Chain A
Amino acid sequence: MSSALHKKTAGTPSQGEGGDARAGAPRKSPSAPPGSTARRRARAGWLFASPALLVIAAVTVFPVVFSLVLSFCEVRLEYGGLRFGSPTLAHYEALLTHPEWYRALAFTLGFTIVSVSVELVLGTLTALVLERLGAGRGWILALLLLPWALINVIAAQLWSYLFNGTYGAVSWLCEQVFDTQPDILGQPVSAMAAMVAVDVWKTTPFVAIVVLAGLMLIPGDVYEAAEIDGASAWTTFWKVTLPQLRPIVAIAVLFRILQAFGIFDLPFVLTQGGPGTATQSVAILGYRILFQNLDFGGGAAVAVTTAVIVLGCCLLFLRVFRAQVDEGGRA
């Protein structure tokens, strides 16, 4: 922990340089022998970067293009292998006119917004507690890592047991408190809430640790200034702590939002998308179209629409939080 702290405090001044500090990195490179060395280094740059970039392109960029083609095709499995039929708009027509797609999208967006907000609030609270904690902080941090490192599917199985309507511990607790036997995963609202709860349990530690790192970065003199001004703890938090946290939180939130948007494991194990289609995420819908209905063209249409939405959100986010992301990336 402390090592990270030091690194960061050492790095903070560079924020002040503003502009394109990192792009300025080559300036640090020896400028003395210009000719051959510079060219060699420039060539090495692409040589070093290209294997990684090629792998990424082969598995992401190229398939997205391929998806686009597929989504406009009749694709059928035949005994000889795949058969690509005539171009068609049918997959998009089926998808965009079907209420289920909109429901899946709404659930996914709702889940993303609610779970990320809750994680952000709880994560910040946890970080504030951890920051003030003296002895034992290391251990509590370590314990917090356990849910984070747990395999999603295991977390989902564990909670599906705890939520079981007949013998689950959570259901039993609810029964003791509210005196009725709840069917947590059997009712849409409670099933969604349960899913958010599991995601919160598993991911809040990540947010908490990131926010904690941000808290440790805030230089002490800022607080001293606030104290001299006679600001209350509450005002200090809103006026001093939070703005300072923004760059880090922005990155973490972007990360979490897009991760939550792809949610598959939890509904797959916990509710299979039910009850009805209440917890069917876009990813579950896509998986079903693919491997339940064996409709590859339709699956490709889901892939393309999802990709468009994600890229759109990402661009929007980068536009709005450009400054924060840059700072966060540079801190």
Chain B
Amino acid sequence: MSLNRRTLLAGALSAAAAGSLAGCGGKDLDDLLTQAATVPRRPARLTWWVSEIPSRRGSVVADLIIRAFERRHPRIRVSKINALSTSDGNRSAIATQLAGGSPQPDVYLGDTTWPAQFGHSALALPVEKLLPSGFWDAYPAALRTSSTYRGTAYAVPFFTDSTYLFYRKDLLAKHGLRVPRSWEELLRTSRTVQQAGDVQAGFLWQAAVTESLTANVTEFLADAGATVLDGRGRAVLGGAEAERAFSLMAEFTARGVTPRTVATDEESDAQDAFVNGRGLFLRNWSYAWVNASTPGVSRVAGKIGAGPRPGFEGTGRSGVSCAGGWSNFVNPSSQELGAAMEFARFCAGDEVQRLLAREAGVIPAMTSVLGSPEAHAAGDPAVLRAADLRLVARPVQTPYYPQVSKALYTPANAVVRGSLSPADGVRAAREGLRTALEGKAL
């Protein structure tokens, strides 16, 4: 009797669960795109997953954008959800929600490394057909490439990010030294100023086992002229160039120019040390300029400069920067696809892009805005020099990008800590990349 009941109930339960799981055909993509194609006339509510956008004058940039949008679309109300500040943590958090089919957030701000993976796993709406023809002409070609996976764009431009070498003007002037043009010179300059006891650390950067380190590795490899993937997307990392890049990362810590804590530092940690006067040089994204030059937040405000990253001696290459940035994605499970899409388009448009140049410490995605009066008035060297940089892309065109990134940052971190030789690090990275690209990595 009891056994019978148990079997029956277990059976019913499994049947119910299996049924509900199998019967999830539901909406197909064409329906979603049709819904997304029209902006609703009825009242609608949107939620926007957005991290804190660095602000030039203390205003909350996201709120300004929302207000501008609501003026244009009085029936649509937008509220924001605070996103996480680290790229990896943020990705896991939002991916968890999206994979769970949550209708919220309707629109989310995501890294430019996400489109392939998110498109592959149906976490982002393919927006290609929802953008007017000629839309992409207004934005850098690299941004279009990184937003596209298998011929379809999954992200709408918002702002781009580049990396720079930030330096202490005052300390360099005190020692009569110039801004280094090569890594070799940077090492010498750092030692000089450090030995004089003027600063704890020479060069601050990021080597925590996260996306932060992948961006750094990509840049150092490009500095040295090493290739990560060949034209057919196979991992070919190796040779003297790659080893040179890995050796440099080890040298920073081995020679004490970079503190050992770099192995756990992300952007915010390195920036924090710099604004507290603990470093001579800092490699960071463009937003660090605003943060480091805001009195009250920064102890080194007014004492800093920013320029392109140095390169290796004898290569003739400098000013390499990882192509970064944040774009808006539309949640395919949103109940307000039309409004969400309109909001994403609005953020890419002229009004918001000018607003970003004026109010935010980021580089607007729209190319024409970079030369605009707003951008010049802001006087941010990071924004003004954005056009001079040599942008390099991370190998983002794969649905396995998280594994690819891990294959780069894991051995690189070990090299920085001195527990792996540069040659072994390069070898490990190449092997890891191969496994990752086959989709067999963990």
Contacts and interface: CB of A to CB of B under 8 A. Distances in A.
Interface of A: 46, 50, 54, 57-58, 62, 65-66, 76-82, 84, 90, 94-95, 98, 100-101, 165-166, 181, 183, 185-188, 271-277, 285, 287-289, 291-294, 298
Contacts of A90: 440
Nearest to A188: B419
B260 A186 contact: yes
A289 B13 contact: no
Nearest to A275: B263
B96 interface: yes
Interface string B313-324: 000000000000
Interface of B is mostly: helix
Interface residues of B, number: 52
Contacts of B440: 90, 94, 98
B278 interface: yes
Given A54-B9, A275-B413, 16 more contacts: A62-B10, A65-B14, A79-B27, A79-B29, A82-B21, A82-B24, A94-B440, A95-B442, A166-B278, A186-B264, A272-B88, A274-B209, A274-B263, A289-B442, A291-B95, A291-B96
Which of A50, A84, A275 has the most CB atoms of chain B within a 10 A radius of its CB? A275
B264 A57 contact: no
A28 B57 CA distance: 79
A62 B209 contact: no
A58 B9 CA distance: 10
B91 interface: yes
B442 A94 contact: yes
A76 B261 CA distance: 39
Contact of B27 (A65, A80, A95, A291): A80
A50 B101 CA distance: 33
Given A77-B99, A183-B260, A183-B261, A292 B91 contact: yes
A78 B122 CA distance: 5
Contacts of A65: 14
Given A165-B259, A294-B95, A80 B28 contact: yes
A104 B178 CA distance: 47
B10 A57 contact: yes
Nearest 5 CB-CB pairings of A with B = A81-B24, A165-B261, A186-B263, A274-B209, A183-B260
A166 B273 contact: yes
Given A77-B99, A81-B24, A293 B260 contact: no
A94 to B, nearest CB: 5
Given A62-B10, A291-B92, A272 B121 contact: no
B51 interface: no
18 contacts: A50-B6, A62-B13, A81-B101, A94-B442, A101-B442, A166-B259, A166-B269, A166-B273, A181-B261, A186-B261, A274-B208, A274-B209, A275-B414, A276-B413, A292-B88, A294-B99, A294-B121, A298-B442
A276 B414 contact: yes
A281 to B, nearest CB: 13
Contacts of A80: 24-28
A101 B441 CA distance: 10
A304 B96 CA distance: 20
Contacts of A77: 99, 121-123
B403 A293 contact: yes
Nearest to B419: A188
Given A186-B263, A276-B410, A76 B121 contact: yes
Most B Cβ at <10 Å: residue of A76, A166, A188, A289: A166
Contacts of A50: 2, 5-6
A60 to B, nearest CB: 12
Contact of A165 (B26, B88, B123, B260): B260
A81 B25 contact: yes
Contacts of A66: 17
B91 to A, nearest CB: 7
B210 interface: yes
A275 B417 contact: yes
B117 interface: yes
Contacts of A62: 10, 13-14, 17
Contacts of B122: 77-79
A292 B95 contact: yes
B378 interface: no
Given A79-B122, A183-B260, A294-B117, A288 B442 contact: yes
B172 interface: no
Interface in B419-442: 419, 440-442
B346 to A, nearest CB: 24
